[in-house]
Structure 1
């Protein structure tokens, strides 16, 4: 079996890299982060280049996510394609290229979201917190409780009774918001009998793409460190010539290569038709754990290599480190993914031999 990328996949990745390099030079990344972190001007370019094409395979989406992490693209692409599109597809809806997002997390301060049917229409009341890219979305998928259980609803944005309050997070380039619903109209997308399962599948789909994004973050951080190690001269030699620096970069590179392979494997299995669900879940957990570790390690190693320069506000490394920490904390904790891996490994473990008398 050939696990190499096809020519078409390489062309897609290269085209995405060129577009994002043009749209997101380091100076613009810093300017966006110092402002509101929102860049609506790039969205039409992504649409024209096919980033929202409903026929994109999972590997293709993973490659785009890698380039998005490398460039720190400040767009709602992940929320749209990673989170919302799987739910719309499961609900039998047409996949539109408009910015979308999904709201399912309760507010840490308390309070969920509930929906009631009034006069043939659904009305939502309550809170949803830490909704990524909610300030950019033109429509939302909202998880809300009903008398029959959790259901998924389509809500326009803006809408009557909907308030979007930006929530500051560590990552200034992936905005989040608290949503307040006050008798807000919504349309039922997925009924309670399957809403929980479909939401879980969408979150796993999005998490696999975040593992790919983490690979891009790690690659950019390692590149910054390698460039500095080659340019910075100490005692008449580039600091990269010293083992303490070279070995740190080499270890970071090995971690990155493992994460890259596991992320693409998870994408490939998720897009295959004949894969067992348990195998997909196992590959997803592997990819997320490896991607998070690679991104955080690459950024922290880069901070060590760049020294005092890397810790300054003007040096761009901290923007990628912020994204790495956001990725490390989003949704299911790493411990939960490790538990999934342990369950998978122990499930195939043979029973120990019984001692004979």
Structure 2
């Protein structure tokens, strides 16, 4: 069995790397991060390049996510393709052309979101917080409580009664916002009988792509560290010749390779399960998919944080300065490490699988 990428997948990844390298050199990334601003002109370009093609496979999306993490592309691509598009597919609807995002998290200060049906349609009232890329979205997909349970709604942005309040985040290139709804009209996309599954699938889909993005972040941090280790000379030798530096980089590389393999494996399994569900109508999750998803998230997060922290150690005082770009990738790694489901929950999932596989006492 051949587990390698196909020639078409390699070409796709190489083309994405060239596109993002030209558009997001490190100095531009730093400038956008300093200004806490995204790239408003990128969306039409990504659509023309096929990044939002509904026929794009999960592995191909994972490769694009890797390159997005490597370049720190300041676009709403992940929130649109990773979170929102799966909801439209679950609803059996065509994917809209504009950027989208998904809102399901309660405000940490308290308060949720509720939808009530009126004669003229559904109305939403309440709050959703930490909504990624909400300020750039042309429409918002919102999870709201109803009398029959949680349902998913589409709300255009702007809309009557909708207030979008930017929230400060550690990663300035991936902004978040608090959404306040005051009798805001919404279109029902997924009814309560299917919304819970659709929301869980969308979160799994998005987090799997974030595991791939973490791989890109780790690879960029390792590249920065290796370049510095080869250029910086102490006592007549590049510092990479010394074991204290070389072994640290080698350990980071091993973690990166493991995360890369597990992230792509999770993409393949999730994509295959989704195709099977489309064909048979069965659920697109099972023990193997859940285990692969948890493995990808845990190893991706750890590889990204480790690579950035190892790079900080290797680059020394230079890497800790504001002018050196490494800290922007470190911010993304820390954001990835705390997004949505905690790592401890994924570890508990893996522990359950391991213990269930053990034979009972004889």
2:314 maps to: 305
2:200 maps to: 200
**C-alpha displacement of 1:276:** 6.0
2:226 maps to: 226
2:280 maps to: none
**C-alpha displacement of 1:96:** 2.5
SS of the equivalent of 2:141 reads strand
2:79 maps to: 79
SS of the equivalent of 1:253 reads helix
2:66 maps to: 66
Q: Where do residues 1-357 of structure 1 align in structure 2 (5 Å cutoff)? A: 1-272=1-272, 273=275, 277-353=286-362
Deviates more, 1:91-100 or 1:328-337: 91-100
Structure 2 stretches of 5 or more lacking a match? 277-283
Distance 2:3 2:95 in 1: 29
Distance 1:202 1:298 in 2: 28
**C-alpha displacement of 1:348:** 1.8
Distance 1:79 1:280 in 2: 22
**C-alpha displacement of 1:339:** 0.7
Distance 1:117 1:317 in 2: 49
SS of the equivalent of 1:40 reads coil
Distance 1:293 1:105 in 2: 24
Structure 1 segments of 4+ aligned residues over 6 angstroms from their partners = none
**C-alpha displacement of 1:349:** 1.6
CA deviation map 1:239-277 (0-9, x unaligned): 000000000000000000000000000001011145861
**Alignment coverage as a number of residue pairs:** 353
Distance 1:332 1:171 in 2: 18
**C-alpha displacement of 1:95:** 1.3
Q: Under a length normalisation based on structure 2, what TM-score does the superposition of the two structures give?
A: 0.96
**C-alpha displacement of 1:331:** 0.3
Structure 1 stretches of 5 or more lacking a match? none
Distance 2:16 2:105 in 1: 31
Distance 1:99 1:43 in 2: 7
